[in-house]
Amino acid sequence: ALLPILEFPDPRLRTVAKPVTEVDDKIRQLVADMFDTMYDAPGIGLAASQVNVHKRVVVIDVSEDKSQPLVFINPEIEVLDPEVSEYDEGCLSVPGFYETVVRPNHIRVKALDRDGNPFEMEPQGLLAVCIQHELDHLNGKLFVDHISPLKRTRIRAKMDKKHKAEAR
C-alpha cells in the first residue's frame, strides 16, 4: 500500500526512531508498503520516519530496474576511514531540491534483514551515500541540516509556500 510521505519542515521528521525488537509479519508488511511507496515516488531509498512510523527500518534500491531491493533493520554505521566525497542529494521529504552534501565514502553497515538475520556490508558509491542519508532520517536529521543555514531557510520558505497553496 502507498503511504503518505511527511514533508519538511514537518516536526515529526525530527523524531528519533526506536529499534525494532522483533522482526515479525507486521514489520514485513511495513517493509512491503515502504517499497511500494519508494518505487511509486520514485526514489532510491526510504526511511520509516518519512512515513511517520518511528521504527529503525530502511529500504533502498539504487538499481535502474528495481532489481536490488535492500532492507536494513536497526542499521548501524562505522566510518572506516576519514576520506569524504560529495554528492547532490535529493529527499522525498524535500521534493524538488537537490544540494551537495559531503559524507564519508568508506563505511561498514551492520543491520538485520527482513527475516531478522544479522548481516554486514561495505557499500560503495551511491549505496554508501544513500544508507547514510537514510540513517540520518532515523535520527531525525535531514540533508538540509548539512547545507548552509541561508539555503535551508530559503528551502523552508518555498516548502511552506507550497503547503499553504495545497491547503487552500
Give the residue numbers marked as catalytic.
Answer: 134
Distance of closest approach, residue 92 Cβ to ligand K1U, in angstroms? 4
Selection from 120, 141, 5 nearest residue 70 by Cα? 120
SS (HEC) of 112-164 = ECCCCCEEEECCCHHHHHHHHHHHHHHCCCCHHHHCCHHHHHHHHHHHHHHHH
Encoded one letter per residue, x for contact with ligand K1U by CB under 6 A and - for no contact, window 43-62 reads: xxxxx---------------
Residues 60, 134 contacting (CB under 8 angstroms): yes
123 binding partner (options Zn ion, ligand K1U, none; Cβ < 5 to 8 Å by kind)? none
- DSSP 8-state class, residue 66: S
Residue with cell string 511509486? 40
Distance of closest approach, residue 145 Cβ to Zn ion, in angstroms? 11
Q: Which stretch binds ligand K1U (CB under 6 A): 13-21, 29-37, 84-92, 102-110?
A: 84-92
The verdict on 99 binding ligand K1U (CB under 6 A) reads no
Instruction: Specify the 3-state DSSP secondary structure of 73.
Output: strand
69 binding partner (options Zn ion, ligand K1U, none; Cβ < 5 to 8 Å by kind)? none
Q: Which stretch binds ligand K1U (CB under 6 A): 6-14, 40-48, 114-122, 160-168?
A: 40-48
Binding-site ranges for ligand K1U (CB under 6 A): 42-47, 87, 89-93, 129-130, 133-134
